[in-house]
Amino acid sequence: MKTGGGLFAFAPVKTGRGAVRGIGFPDLEARHAFIQRHRSALRRFPRSTEPRPGKNTYGNIQKSGRICYNYNMDEFAPLLAWYDNNKRDLPWRRTRDPYRVWVSEIMLQQTRAGAVIPYYERFFEALPDVSALAACPEERLLKLWEGLGYYSRARNLKKCAETLVREYGGRFPEDADSLKKLPGIGAYTAGAIASIAFGKPEPAVDGNVLRILARFRNDGRNVLEAQTAEDCRAFLRAHELSRAGDLNQAFMDLGTLICLPKSPQCALCPLRNGCAAEKAGTQDALPYREKPKPRRKEQLTVFCLQTDRGLIIRRRPATGLLPGLFEFPHVPGRLTAAEALAYLSERGLGPRTELMQYERRHVFTHIEWEMHVVYCRTDDVLFEDCLFYTGEEPLPTAFLKCLPEKA
């Protein structure tokens, strides 16, 4: 079998344990088109799990940009069978409503599933459909989001809902390409919505999938590079994705329960027989990530000032970190008790109790706050555009940590 012509002609051959090799393709679309045309023939070539030798190897881990693709269409059948018997019972899996699928996927970014459940339930009690979200005042939305962090996600939810109401009559487009044009929806979220809500054969590649496929293919490339994720999407599209929604969720559960970032439970893995890293003994070294730059550390002195009318808060600037949310007054550096008293005195505040001092820490993506908290009861005096906290204002997790009951 030979296809195409010229520079990118591709003549697959069966070598070793059945690897399919050839010259290559000009781009991912050409390769995908070839696979679709010759799917039945490619089924006859099971995947080679042996590391490819040569100068582009790192120990037994494949470091080359050319990966030995697996075109066996049934290789993920054990994963789906495992998922059918072991899938987690999560509230967002009891529906195919694209609105609920979408919001749950946004909430689950950077947050554990167990922690998301109460936020998910509270959110849909308040905002049951796209129209309600589009009409929701931003401050109320941010209050509903309080504790989940990454507040830009909530703002993008509102922008997206407004677009859906204005341009789509409150309905979601069904294909991933159209979904990706909406505010705040990237390739992963579009794939999740299209596959789970609409049954489209779309992959949803997140950190779990990158980790699993890095081990499954013994692929030592940097998983933080965009090209690696694109390659994983192409790899999955080369498979029969008749149950794409279930397969995407199976990957999520496998990465959460078995193929863990550290100490993967290979003996329990349904993909063990086809896992190249398990055979090569490299599973603990994968996935490969370039070390990120160290976070910048900032020291703050945060004032939790309790009055008879509530804690004193102020609004953060409209741009920068945690834009437009609320905070406790704070200053750079770590003040001594005498300096903290002087700060209060300059603002006309007289402490009614001794200062309580304790330490808190909060980690953002690129910044780490080391917070020295000063708590006391004080006069009902406002300063510098401050106001009294009623409990309705959205207060970021970094400042919720500073509350005295957590001391």
What is the biggest distance separating any 2 CA atoms in the chain, rounded to whole angstroms? 87
H or E segment to which residue 369 belongs: strand 367-377
**HSE value, Cβ hemisphere, 13 Å, CA-based, for 379:** 9
Alpha carbon 306 to chain centroid, angstroms? 36
Long-range contacts of 48-57 (CB under 8 A, 24+ apart): 48/15, 48/16, 48/17, 48/18, 48/19, 49/17, 49/218, 49/274, 49/275, 49/276, 49/279, 50/16, 50/17, 50/19, 50/276, 51/218, 51/276, 51/280
- End-to-end CA distance of the chain: give it in Å, rounded: 71
- Is there a catalytic annotation at residue 105? yes
Give pLDDT tens digits along the chain (407 positions). 333 333 223 333 333 333 333 334 445 555 555 455 544 434 333 343 343 333 333 344 544 444 444 444 478 999 999 999 999 999 999 999 999 999 999 999 888 899 999 999 999 999 999 999 999 999 999 999 988 888 889 999 999 999 999 999 999 999 999 999 999 999 999 999 999 999 999 999 999 999 999 999 999 999 999 999 999 999 998 887 778 999 999 999 999 999 999 999 999 999 999 999 999 999 999 999 888 788 899 999 999 999 988 899 999 988 888 888 899 999 999 999 999 999 998 888 888 888 999 999 999 888 999 999 999 998 888 887 888 998 888 888 899 999 887 44
Q: Of the listed 29, 50, 75, 105, which one is catalytic?
A: 105
CATH of span 77-285? 1.10.340.30
- Residue extents of the structural domains in the chain: 6-62, 77-285, 296-406
Judged by DSSP in three states, 61 sits in strand
**Architecture, CATH, for domain 296-406:** Alpha-Beta Complex (3.90)
- Given a contact cutoff of 8 angstroms between Cβ atoms, the answer to whether 246 and 80 are in contact is yes
Which residue in 390, 321, 324 sits closest to 138, CA to CA? 324
For the record, the structure tokens of 273 come out as: 């027989």
